[in-house]
A and B are shown apart, each in its own frame.
Chain A
Amino acid sequence: MIEVEHLTKFYGEIRGIEDVSFKIGKGEIVGLLGPNGSGKTTTMRILVCYMPATDGRAKVAGFDVETESMEVRKRIGYLPEHPPLYNEMTVRAYLDFVGRLRGLSKKEIPSGIERVVEVCALSPVIDRIIGQLSKGFRQRVGLAQALIHNPEVLILDEPTIGLDPKQNADIRALIKSLAGTHTIILSTHILPEVTLTCERVIIIHQGRIVADARLSELTKEQNLEQAFLKLVGFESAESEGKLREG
């Protein structure tokens, strides 16, 4: 469903990602892990056609993100790190607006809104102004926005950031319920999150992929946190410290 080959992105002199390659099959939920600034958002932004890569190729649903970007955009639902919400609109007006931008026909929009309101449990706030909503509801409106056109691929950048534990569990359950029918990439730096939702993890560090494995394989001998710290080079620093102390 998603094929990424040798993707590289430089912001001027600064490296965003370098030589990133992976493949994701239909219906998989993949967690994109990495410390802050490791290139998670950059990778996602290239996949959703927000910006072009410096080098390399990426395909979503068989379409190239650069040359067939309109086809890719139709098939992707994207929740950016900051949910793109218009504060003066009501939730209903906003979802209607996004539905039109996503190319839904007049007939499809009401049923689409009904569906995402149901899925994201937005019915209590459907006619409220977005600017007045709590953080949890804002995040869910952001997710509803990404789902309105029932996309094959969902790309979620830190979908549970800033939510309370209850909302967090809700969103996780929601993401899990979408598995199988949707291909999902979600990024996070909260590790327990991944173990609860994803089947597979890709760990990015300093713009490069350092691990790409099924969660069960990665956590066979150690827990995810240990594996993660080892991969991003934290463990060596720790043991060096120990050596020096010794």
Chain B
Amino acid sequence: MRVISAIFWKEFKGYFLSPVAYVVLTGFTAISGWLFYQLLNYFIRITNMMSGYMVKGQIIREWTIVDDIMGPLYKNLSLFLIILVPGITMRLFSEEKKLKTEELLLTCPIRMGQVVIGKYLASLALLILMLIPVGVYLAIILKYGTEPDIGALVAGYLGLFLVAFALTAVGIFASSLTENQIISFFVCAVIGLFFFSIGLAARSVETITVFSRRMDLSEFFRQLSLFEHYSNMVAGRIQITDLVYFLLMIVFFLFSAWVNVGSARWA
């Protein structure tokens, strides 16, 4: 525990000793605030004109706060995370390799698992700080919105955290692969994009036959997609399968990072 906390504080303070934390925190707050304002503004304009989505003079869906303000906000912010999270995690192990400080960690009486967890928690702490302002927008909606669906709004907010946590695990893994921070950034971003976009493929693939067994690939891709699971939460459905999906992502990538860091000594 002491080792984890030592690593945690070193990394967490490290974010504030370099411009990283300030850039990320102000940047994200500014962009998300602007986005929230625009969505809110647009929502007010369209609700003044008509009460729902109209096709041929008939309203087929009413405007709701969840579907037309917070849903799009959450989904857009999750896309920002694909760029911001690698920026936060890229240096964690890459820099240790580059500056040879890894040699200190590998020869101290500590377990590499403790190092991975300490670093993971440090970047989570920064991300939590970053996502707190989004809670302010949520609070504004809850206070001034008419009959908001509280459950759905909170579920979406939690979903945003889970996406951030999963991407951070991917980022730690990417950082453990290379001493080059730029490569580490892109590996994380590409894996992130893969898990976000694989759901799009689900629509175009059909059932295939492998060894005379029929497999529904489209369902498989959909289940693999981070965005699908996240969308469920944004729509207000908290399901065990979605939570398990995020948990598995985190465990899998942290485990891979741990194996990777330890493998430095096999050479």
Contact = CB atoms under 8 A, between A and B. Distances in A.
Contact of A50 (B10, B110, B265): B265
B17 A88 contact: yes
B55 interface: no
A50 B267 contact: no
Interface in A61-94: 70, 73-74, 76, 78, 80, 82, 84-89, 93
B17 A89 contact: yes
Interface stretch (A20-28, A98-106, A160-168, A226-234): A98-106
Contacts, number: 67
B265 A101 contact: no
3 interchain residue pairs of minimum CB distance: A84-B104, A100-B6, A73-B109
B100 A102 contact: no
Contacts of A80: 100, 103-104
Interface residues of B, number: 23
5 contacts: A50-B103, A82-B99, A86-B10, A98-B104, A103-B2
B18 A88 contact: yes
Given A76-B107, A84-B101, A89-B14, 7 more contacts: A73-B108, A80-B104, A86-B99, A93-B10, A97-B10, A101-B108, A101-B109
A51 B6 contact: no
A85 B98 CA distance: 11
Contact of B104 (A11, A51, A103, A145): A145
Classify the secondary structure of A's interface with B: loop
Contact of A100 (B2, B102, B105): B2
A82 B6 contact: no
Interface residues of A, number: 27
Interface of B: 2-3, 6, 10, 13-14, 17-18, 99-110, 265-267
A84 B99 contact: yes
Nearest to B18: A88
Contacts of A87: 99
B108 A51 contact: no
A101 B3 contact: yes
A111 B82 CA distance: 45
A85 B101 contact: yes
A242 to B, nearest CB: 42
A102 B108 contact: yes
Contacts of B104: 80, 84, 98, 101, 145
A48 interface: yes
A1 interface: no
Nearest to A157: B103
A76 B106 CA distance: 13
B99 A101 contact: no
A51 B265 contact: yes
A179 interface: no
A84 B99 CA distance: 7
B259 to A, nearest CB: 16
Nearest to B2: A100
Given A52-B265, A78-B107, A103-B109, A84 B100 contact: yes
Contacts of B265: 50-52
A49 interface: yes
Nearest to B16: A88
A49 B107 contact: yes
Contacts of B18: 88
Contacts of B108: 73, 98, 101-102
A221 to B, nearest CB: 40
B103 A84 contact: yes
B6 A101 contact: yes
Contacts of A98: 104, 108
Given A50-B107, A70-B109, A89-B17, A100 B99 contact: no
Given A51-B267, A85-B99, A87-B99, A101 B105 contact: yes
